Chains A and B, each alone.
Chain A
Amino acid sequence: DSGVTQTPKHLITATGQRVTLRCSPRSGDLSVYWYQQSLDQGLQFLIHYYNGEERAKGNILERFSAQQFPDLHSELNLSSLELGDSALYFCASSGGEGFEQFFGPGTRLTVL
């Protein structure tokens, strides 16, 4: 158990819908990273938050947004969902700049 929690584990929804994925980092970790794992794109970085502030963006679609709250949990919002958004979404946390990242169990999103 990495200490990082993600909910829900599975999510099945329809095209055009909006979903929210939730992540709670390890106790004391200030950084939260979101990654997408799909068959065709592999593991791709989406966005990084540090202590509530956005630090870096990767190949994140405009339909996707995220935030980190004062209690350090983070949410990834995916809207106007398309079939191609079906993937495993991971959250990872780390203790600060330069430390290794520990991954949550992931949320498997299926868009029908």
Chain B
Amino acid sequence: AQTVTQSQPEMSVQEAETVTLSCTYDTSENNYYLFWYKQPPSRQMILVIRQEAYKQQNATENRFSVNFQKAAKSFSLKISDSQLGDTAMYFCAFMRYGNKLVFGAGTILRVKS
């Protein structure tokens, strides 16, 4: 069974600075997807970024980028130029093709002004 570990329960960052959230996973699969979801206080689950395991290039979406290390089974999220609206719980998730999402426990990110 796949597992996802987020070792940082809480983090904080100053507005406009950069922060990196860590995620590791365990799987014997070779083909899979990895995701970061954001859950703000409204509790809505918002897809931030996705990475296909077969792609070596790291995914980027505006201020959000990932560092995907397949051999190390590591998938960290970097948020640049942090904004107050980035304050949320962030979940790392693993998915085999056409299958369920397996979530980590989440990291609470607080952006301070």
Contacts and interface: CB of A to CB of B under 8 A. Distances in A.
B16 interface: no
A56 B99 contact: yes
B101 A35 contact: yes
A43 B97 contact: no
B98 A100 contact: no
Given A88-B43, A106-B43, A98 B100 contact: no
Contact of A100 (B35, B43, B91, B103): B35
Contacts of B44: 2, 103, 105-106
A105 B45 CA distance: 7
A8 to B, nearest CB: 15
Contacts of A55: 98
Contacts of A42: 103, 105-106
A22 interface: no
A79 B33 CA distance: 34
B33 A100 contact: yes
Interface residues of A, number: 25
B47 interface: yes
Contacts of B100: 33, 45, 48, 56, 58
Nearest to A105: B44
Contacts of B105: 42
Contacts of B46: 2, 103
A94 B107 CA distance: 25
B45 A100 contact: no
B50 interface: yes
A96 B101 contact: no
Nearest to B42: A105
Q: Which 10 A-B pairs have the closest CB atoms?
A: A97-B98, A103-B45, A98-B97, A45-B100, A43-B103, A98-B98, A100-B50, A42-B105, A105-B44, A97-B97
Interface of B: 33, 35, 37, 42-47, 50, 91, 95, 97-103, 105-106
